[in-house]
Amino acid sequence: MSTTSSESYSALESSLRAAGVDLDVVEARLRAQRIETPSWGYANSGTRFGVFAQEGVPRNPFEKLDDAAEVHCHTGVCPAVAVHIPWDRVDDYGELAAYARSRALAIGAVNPNLFQEKDYKLGSVCHPDARVRRMATDHLLECVAVARELGSDALSLWFADGTNYPGQDSLHERRERMTACLSEAYAAMDPEMEMLVEYKLYEPAFYATDLADWGSALLVCQHLGERAKVLVDLGHHAHGVNIEQLVALLIGEGRLGGFHFNNRKYGDDDLIVGSVNPFELFLIYVELAGAEQLTGAAPTRYAIDQSHNVEPKIEAMLLSVMNLQEAYAKALLVDRDTLAEAQLAGDVLEGHRVLLDAYATDVRPLCAKVREDLGASAAPIEAFRASGYRERVIGERQGVGVSWA
């Protein structure tokens, strides 16, 4: 840590300890933070209008792991990578898992693709044609087998299924079809595997999305069994939805399975997490940290799901992770005792001020120190730029990089 950074940390340390913060506990919890990065976040991406290619983008799943390892190297908290099938399909999944281990990584959730095949025009597991539903279910079963080979403990599901017009299909029958297909996949999972069920308000379905909100996802999970849990994507809600409240509800039901962290301004924008509404991110972590404090363990899987369309892939991922580290650090600094006293006393303003005090704390020196404790970089983006990694892979990776499309 530089002299200036060391001085900043010392000043923050003195201030926090004087305020009664058990900084040793806070730092230990920050060192234990784990964030799963997505393989597709390192690939070329874009919008419905086109894909914007960048130099040095990975050409295969192995090179995606190389980039993910670079993010873990500089942050210290990203030891797992989610994969997407068929985008990350290989001939030998044992080889891919071994390569991940050689890069100090593990494979995270396996994400089936149930939205790009032409047959899925009217849906996948909800499609009115039994042949298409069979095709979708077989892909789910394939991904369960892939997860087994890769050592993954989660199947992460998002469906584009829905309808665009009233009368297009039976809403009741679509739900029945979905639960039948998912029940078959759930039964095929190993006992240690979880099924994470994601939802989305709209797009590409504009009249009725089959899994439109956390409630519809929760109902499906309750139908399937205890190892089916809800996955929350921060960009998949209507404007004004109180995400931190629904997080608290799902934690209370024991059904919060994971996050796809990103940020949005209008719709499912998949922007860098914390870039638009960092206070919301902090409030979500307040709920997560509170649940963690009660149970002694993280209540969910923390993962990133973003499309870095115009910004450099690895640097964008680094910034996302840093924002998650800082949001978590601020949440850990909330004076829970004073907050509880204010809430019980009905002191509305004081309860709000307790949160604002924690949110206003500049935790960057603390997070930098924790990263260094982990053998990572105090300033990840600057260290990455100085490493020469991007320039090297641009020279090595000739040809067209892979894309999510």
Q: Strands 256-261 and 208-209, how do they pair?
A: unpaired
> Which helix (H) or strand (E) element contains residue 384?
helix 380-387
Residue 55 lies in a domain: yes
The CATH number given to whatever domain includes residue 145 is: 3.20.20.150
Residue 295 lies in a domain: yes
Q: Cβ(185)–Cβ(136) under 8 Å?
A: no
Res 50: pLDDT: 82
Tokens of 52: 């914007």
Res 4: pLDDT: 55
Res 300: pLDDT: 87
Please state, in angstroms and rounded to a whole number, the distance separating the CA atoms of residues 230 and 237: 14
Tokens of 280: 């919301």
For 237, what's the count of Cα atoms within 13 Å in the CB-facing half-sphere?
20
Please state, in angstroms and rounded to a whole number, the distance separating the CA atoms of residues 121 and 109: 26
Residue 271 lies in a domain: yes
In the chain, which stretches have pLDDT less than 50? none
Please state, in angstroms and rounded to a whole number, the distance separating the CA atoms of residues 275 and 277: 6
Residue 362 lies in a domain: no
Res 405: pLDDT: 52
Count CB atoms within 10 A of the CB of residue 372: 17
- Of 259, 273, 72, nearest to 154 by C-alpha is 259
The residue type of 385 is R
Structural domain containing residue 133 = 33-334
Tokens of 366: 């603390």
Residue 364 lies in a domain: no
Entry pTM: 0.95
Residue 391 lies in a domain: no
Bridge partner residues of 258 (DSSP) = 231, 301
Q: Which residues contact 377 (CB under 8 A, 6 or more apart)?
A: 73, 74, 75, 371, 383, 384
Res 6: pLDDT: 80
Please state, in angstroms and rounded to a whole number, the distance separating the CA atoms of residues 85 and 71: 22
Please state, in angstroms and rounded to a whole number, the distance separating the CA atoms of residues 153 and 141: 14
In DSSP notation, 28-97 reads HHHHT---EEEGGGGSBEEETTEEE--TT--SSHHHHHHHHHHHHHHHS---EEEEEETTT--S-HHHHH
Q: How far is CA 116 from the centre of its chain?
A: 21
Q: Cβ(157)–Cβ(198) under 8 Å?
A: yes
Residue 199 lies in a domain: yes
Rounded to the nearest 10 degrees, how much is the dihedral formed by the CA atoms of 35, 209, 225, 230? 20
Residue 353 lies in a domain: no
What's the distance, Cα to Cα, between the start and end of the chain in Å?
Answer: 41
Res 295: pLDDT: 79
pLDDT digits (tens, 9 = 90+) for 164-217: 999 999 999 999 999 999 999 999 999 999 999 999 999 999 999 999 999 999
User: Is 111 strand, coil or helix?
Assistant: strand
Q: How far is CA 322 from the centre of its chain?
A: 14
- Number of domains forming the structure of the chain: 1
